[in-house]
Structure 1
Amino acid sequence: MIFLYYFSHPTNTKFLVDASDKEKIANEVTELFQIRNKAILMQDLEAIDYIYDKNTKYGTWAYNHEIKKMKYLINWSEKQGVKFVDIVPMVVIRSIKGSNNYYSVNLICSTEYKYVYENEELGDGNKVNMFRIGTAHSVKLANKDGIWQITKEWYTDPFADSLNLENIKADSIKKYILSQPYRDFSNLSKRRSSAVAYADKYCGIASDEEFGFKYNKKYGDYNPLGGDCANFASQILFEGGKFKKTSTWNFDGGGGSKAWLNANAFKDFMINNGRASLIARGTYEKVYKAAYKLKPGDFVAYEKNGKVVHISTVTGADSKGYSLVNCHNTDRYRVPWDLGWSNRKIKFWLVHVHY
């Protein structure tokens, strides 16, 4: 069976694009994403130069942004004492418009990052760590002399809050991280384990493919209204952790309360009502050692300009015991807790939840 797709032609007439053309463009987009990821692995900033149309304003912007992101990831890996060994994108096309040499593509991408620590053997499979980040993209492509180029790209960048980061003072931090042992969470309580299972299943584009890259429809998606991170953290504690709703912390058919949906209000409610307690608060340099006290089911709150703007739930730790988190907004699955948030102006709240 041939599946046909109807798209708008520049002359406002209709034409048919068959499934093979959609597959062709999907392959081209995936290859562009692979080129970007390989450039990070090779730490080669020049490798992505030719895949952007820098004769256009938006193509130049997209290129410059990607360079800043690459520099940040390289800087973070040096601070962490890790080497990325593989970065694999899974691209799912949602829609395509255009014809011939010009296309506009809406897609989601679940990118899997694998890394090892400098003092651990790559050959030991248990030492290869993995996390995933899910993003939604709107990309405009043009074929110039047989080469597909990005002329415009929009997506919510998971690293945006750290792209202006000065080089992290890495030596003492790296030495400490590399000295840490693996942490065993095999004896977690049933409620904590259930909370983690929920966080893994419903972390959206970053979740396992079998879950369809979707949020729990019962709670909606508040990203268009300012963010879904607290909504997701509340779900994790209610659906997974079996915490009871209250008049202050509640979600029903009409939506959620402020403490359920707002990151700062969620943090205040959990601490002020005795459901959680503060482990540490401060800049990364001040709290990174205390972060090893976090357990799966705890949470991290991220403060900018005196107000908490994001919540992530701890879901595990890597081979050096470094805490990993899940969240919504830019969807994350088992991501190092500070990745994308290590700007010096950001303060972290490390919060222990009382299950």
Structure 2
Amino acid sequence: MNYQDTYSKRGQENGRKVGASGSETLPTSIAGGDVVTQGFYTYYSRQGAVNYANRWWNGRNPKYRSFSNDCANFVSQSFYEGGFARQAWVEPYVWWYNTKGTSGTGDDAWTYSWSVAHDQAYHLSRNNETDEHRGTYVAKATDLQLGDSIYYDFDGDGILDHSAIVVEIKNGQPYVNYHTNDTYHRYWDLGAKTTRFLHVTDFYWIN
């Protein structure tokens, strides 16, 4: 997964749609399944996402593949498992993790937007569709709430290298949990060249 965001960003620039890991199409079990329920609002549980992030900040949920660069995977799990964010199963607007119904993770599949920080931020910040878990960039850290996410470009090359989830607001400032170098309730500023603040949408319509 190291620097996979570089590859996928180039793909975006060349007109490639974000697709499944190792593939440009959805798994058959998803594409042909009955996983899409239409016509209702779904709500993001901020406290639930925080609870999950606090539960697994220094552990790995065995339900999911663990990566050497695990930050975006951890944030996605917090959104989905704790926050009850609905996964999007319709191409090209995809954000999902598929266990394929097996007990192990060896044959699992996932989207770049699930597992790569740059693609996760890109996916969440695209608000031209309403049937997915989405968000909006805000100007400063103090605009964030619990369950929002922060993205870091350490090298200043325009590629977001790292993601974290807001788990505490103290004196108006967010504190974050993240994986890879597992960290609990750290002040948000990691000294990156560029930091992007993403406020997650509270509710959205499933069309």
TM-score by length of 1: 0.38
Tell me, yes or no, if structure 1 residue 337 matches structure 2 residue 188: yes
Q: Is the 8 A contact 2:44 2:201 kept in 1?
A: no
> Per the alignment, in what secondary structure is the counterpart of residue 53 of structure 2?
helix
Instruction: For 2:173 and 2:85, locate their aligned partners in 1 and report how far apart those are by CA, in whole Å.
Output: 26
Residue identity in the other structure for 1:351 = L
CA shift, 1:321, in A, is 2.6
Distance 1:255 1:229 in 2: 17
Structure 1 residues without counterparts, runs of 5 or longer: 1-188, 205-213, 281-289
Indicate whether 1:250 and 2:100 are aligned: no
Question: What is the aligned partner in structure 2 of residue 197 from structure 1?
Answer: 51
The DSSP-based 3-state class of the residue aligned with 2:160 is strand
Distance 2:44 2:162 in 1: 26
Q: Deviations over 1:322-351 (max 9, x none)?
A: 21001101011110001xx215xx100011
Change (3 A) 1:202 1:306: same
Distance 1:217 1:196 in 2: 19
Q: 1:240-279, aligned counterparts within 5 Å? A: 240-247=82-89, 248-253=94-99, 254-273=108-127, 275-279=134-138
Which protein has the bigger helix share?
Answer: 1
For 2:137 and 2:56, the matched residues in 1 are separated by 26
Equivalence for 1:220: 65
Percentage of matched positions with identical amino acids = 30
The structure 1 segments of at least 4 consecutive aligned residues displaced by more than 6 Å after TM superposition are none
Check whether the contact 2:53–2:177 (CA below 8 A) recurs between aligned residues.
yes
Q: 1:297 aligns with which of 147, 155, 171?
A: 147
Distance in 2 (alpha carbons) for counterparts of 1:232 and 1:307: 19
CA distance in 2, matches of 1:306, 1:217: 33
TM-score (normalised: structure 2): 0.64
CA RMSD of aligned residues (A): 1.6
Partner letter of residue 96 of structure 2? N
Higher relative contact order (CA 8 A, sep 6+): 2
Q: Aligned partners of 1:229, 1:246: CA distance in 2, in Å? A: 20
Question: 2-side partners of 1:198 and 1:217: how far apart?
Answer: 14
Structure 2 spans left out of the alignment, 5+ residues? 1-42, 100-107, 203-207
Query: How far apart are the structure 1 equivalents of 2:174 and 2:196?
Result: 14
In the aligned structure 2, how far is the partner of 1:276 from the partner of 1:352?
5
**Alpha-carbon displacement from aligned partner over 1:118-165 (angstroms, at most 9, x marks no partner):** xxxxxxxxxxxxxxxxxxxxxxxxxxxxxxxxxxxxxxxxxxxxxxxx
Write the distance in 2 (CA, Å) between the matches of 1:200 and 1:268: 25
Q: Over alpha carbons, which structure has the higher Rg?
A: 1
Deviations 1:239-285 (A, max 9, x none): 111111113111012232111011110001111146100102xxxxx
Spell out, residue by residue over 1:208-267, the C-alpha distance to the aligned partner (whole angstroms, 9 max, x if none): xxxxxx2111112101xxx11111111111111111111311101223211101111000
Q: Aligned runs of 1:41-190 on 2, under 5 Å?
A: none
Choose between structure 1 and 2: higher strand proportion. 1
Number of matched pairs: 141
